[in-house]
Amino acid sequence: MSQYSIAVLAGDGIGPEIMQEADKVLSAVAERFGITLNRKAFPVGGYAIDNHGEALPATTLVGCEQADAILFGSIGGPKWDTLPLEQRPERAALLTLRSHFDLFSNLRPARIYPGLESLSPLREDIAKSGVDVLVVRELTSGIYFGQPKGREGQGDEEFAFDTMRYSRREIQRIAVAAFEAAQKRKGKVTSVDKANVLMTSRLWREVTEAVANDYPDVSLEHIYIDNATMQVMKNPAQFDVLLCSNLFGDIISDECAMMTGSMGLLPSASMNEDGFGLFEPAGGSAPDIAGQGIANPIAQILSAAMMLRYSLNQTAPADAIEQAVIATLEAGVVTAELLPASEQHRAASTSEVGDEVVRQLQRHAKES
């Protein structure tokens, strides 16, 4: 029997609430497909600072090293915002994990499913135009990691600086990931940059064009980030794979999430060259809605599906979860943020959505 070990890092804010629903779904899918998914929870983020004195305790890192994959919730929140940058949960835990495991390839798929266009805030004709975008974001370099960064000077002369830095090798490997993804999709890569002002973007263009020569079946176009944010609203169906640096991918993937209706719908996979990965919702800890039982658990559930697909090579269970999620949305079992003000009375809670995904999984098992 296939057996896997998963390090579960729920984190802060809505993290533990939505992780509980992903856990239910993993139990159901394991039972249906006869696989063993051993999950072990580890502290991370603000919770770990409060209870263990640091955002990424050594036991958590070792637990992740010993696992086949990491299922991550979200971290951070107002309570830890005033800590020095290097101690904050986002940098001390999440960026450290990404860097430690060399998780350079971040996949963020955003799709408006036929029949579910009403969930999108986009105008109906745009929502119905066939929106299916994969953001491929470089995740371990660029301005989030470049050195030097810091603050110097005093008074009005005080200044702060970050360094945006990319090597040829770093651009090349994420470009290859984008082209290979495009080969399995519609065969189009749109590379997002700011080559009219940034040196890193000029190198980015040069390298992506060189990589494109190895993929004659995939077309490559370039777009400036400012125009890209506009085009995603105006005509998202023109895009297949959006290849982005760390910063631009962070920004545009939130926009792509909203195209589908909610930040709470967008899962992500962060992979290294060995196929090891961390799987997490693209959004954050949502402190504005945490603790109310109203957060959308779908991004966390779909992240678990991506984990099964990409790190554990369990395609059928991953497909089954994705189908159960679509069936749940089609059945209208959705959290409040997906509904207009006039329909708030029919909003489902976080756990009701998780229960419905499990029910749909079990229903489809009986039918098949």
Ligand X SMILES: CC(C)CC(=O)C(=O)O
Q: Note the residues at the interface with ligand NAI (CB under 6 A).
A: 14, 18, 74-77, 90, 94, 262-264, 280, 283-289, 295-296, 299, 337
Residue 138, interface with ligand X (CB under 6 A)? no
User: Contacting Mg ion (CB under 5 A), which of 170, 250, 280, 356?
Assistant: 250
Residues 6+ apart with CB under 8 A from 317: 29, 30, 32, 33, 35, 305, 308
Catalytic option among 4, 47, 144, 310? 144
354's contact among ligand NAI, Mg ion, ligand X, none, with CB below 5 to 8 A by partner kind, is none
Q: Where do we find the tokens 């040069």?
A: 206
Return the HEC string of 167-227.
CHHHHHHHHHHHHHHHHCCCCEEEEEECCCCCHHHHHHHHHHHHHHCCCCCCEEEEEEHHH
Query: For ligand NAI, which residue has the nearest CB?
Result: 284
Residue 280, interface with Mg ion (CB under 5 A)? no
Catalytic option among 214, 226, 234, 319? 226
Integer Cα distance of 76 and 290 in angstroms: 12
Provide the 10 A C-beta neighbour count for residue 116: 18
- Provide the sign of the torsion angle of the four alpha carbons 45, 51, 57, 63, taken in this order: negative
Closest CA to 312 of 38, 13, 12: 38
Least distance CB 179 / ligand X (angstroms): 23
Least distance CB 174 / Mg ion (angstroms): 17
**108 annotated as a binding-site residue:** yes
Least distance CB 54 / ligand NAI (angstroms): 16
Residue 250, interface with ligand X (CB under 6 A)? yes
Q: Are 242 and 192 in contact (CB under 8 A)?
A: yes
Residue 56, interface with ligand X (CB under 6 A)? no
Question: Which one of the spans 92-100, 152-160, 210-218, 244-252 is the region binding Mg ion (CB under 5 A)?
Answer: 244-252
Q: Residue 94 or 223: which CB sits closer to ligand X? A: 94
Binding residues for substrate: 98, 108, 137, 226
Q: Which residues bind Mg ion (CB under 5 A)?
A: 250
Residue numbers annotated as active site: 144, 194, 226, 250, 254
Binding-site residues for Mg(2+), in ranges, read: 226, 250, 254
